Structure 1
């Protein structure tokens, strides 16, 4: 018997070091930028761009994300918890979407701060106001592009004026610049704004 036990012990394989993890699943649609959203974390993961617009099944555990189209595994990622961030495998992206992989809040805030602290403060509000990161990133990219088109000083004043009216989007900055409102003095808003037909409302700037 002892000899039998010894032989059996030699034949035994070590237990797998990974513990079994419970998985949950959800069905999502691949967005136009080639990512899917795990709404539990509000985090975005890339899939091959050929699946854009397709409904896929997303399996997720505490540590990993697996994405299937029908019965085919098309992407696997380590699960991340960064809210409104992207996890992107560059090979997944079409050439026209490659630049999106480098977009993140820190990049836009740094670029804005290099122009002026008021521009950085404005961009921070844009990032906070938008429900979807991709929308916020596109808006930030468009706003910051005005620095090359009209110069730093005009963009700074446009951001200051838009901030005064609580408008945090690309169209507000564009309209302020088109109407040369950045060239006029910014009035200090009184505590109680009187209601008067001649006072321009928010719609004037949007």
Structure 2
């Protein structure tokens, strides 16, 4: 395979025939023609950071925070689309409230992987109230017959 690079054009040649031709970009970024992309990559082109954030906001404020942070930490937001779509599609399997609660936990604990959020949901960690969220009547009594105290241990 040979690559012929001109000022405004790149050509790929193989066995004496031109295989592909692309306009040359002089500034950073992707220049892949949509028709050369796999179908699933073309599907992602319809998404924008704004559209993902709108969907996330509909799920809840903690989901919006998680999605916004994933988009911001990538050099190109498009690199986070699959991750964000994976998170948002969890609303097909779980109620929005649970997905948002799992994002709250993820934001608090600094979790940025979809696998970690799925684990939170699978193990129902989003349903356990945070320590500060316990109502006084839910707290365990500190004085009862089963508490042995320090003198019980040698």
- Give the total of aligned pairs: 128
* Structure 1 position 186 matched with structure 2 position 133: no
Aligned to 1:69: 12
What is the aligned counterpart of 1:123 among 47, 67, 91? Answer: 67
Q: Which runs of 5+ in 1 are unaligned?
A: 1-54, 189-206
Aligned to 2:52: 108
Query: Could you tell me how far 1:94 is from its partner in structure 2?
Result: 3.4
Q: SS state of the match for residue 110, structure 2?
A: coil
What is the aligned counterpart of 1:93 among 7, 30, 37? Answer: 37
Superposition TM-score, scaled by structure 2 size:
0.65
Q: SS state of the match for residue 129, structure 2?
A: coil
Point out the structure with the larger strand share: 1
**CA–CA separation in structure 2 for the residues paired with 1:127 and 1:56:** 37
**CA–CA separation in structure 2 for the residues paired with 1:67 and 1:183:** 55
**CA–CA separation in structure 1 for the residues paired with 2:113 and 2:21:** 35
Query: Could you tell me how far 1:174 is from its partner in structure 2?
Result: 0.6
**Is the alpha carbon distance of 1:137 and 1:129 closer, same or farther for their aligned partners in structure 2, counting shifts above 3 Å?**
same
Q: Which runs of 5+ in 2 are unaligned?
A: 133-154
Q: SS state of the match for residue 45, structure 2?
A: helix
RMSD: 3.2
**CA–CA separation in structure 1 for the residues paired with 2:47 and 2:4:** 24
Q: SS state of the match for residue 93, structure 2?
A: helix
**CA–CA separation in structure 1 for the residues paired with 2:111 and 2:2:** 37
Query: Could you tell me how far 1:67 is from its partner in structure 2?
Result: 3.5
**Is the alpha carbon distance of 1:80 and 1:113 closer, same or farther for their aligned partners in structure 2, counting shifts above 3 Å?**
farther
**Is the alpha carbon distance of 1:136 and 1:58 closer, same or farther for their aligned partners in structure 2, counting shifts above 3 Å?**
farther
Q: Is the 8 A contact 1:56 1:67 kept in 2?
A: no
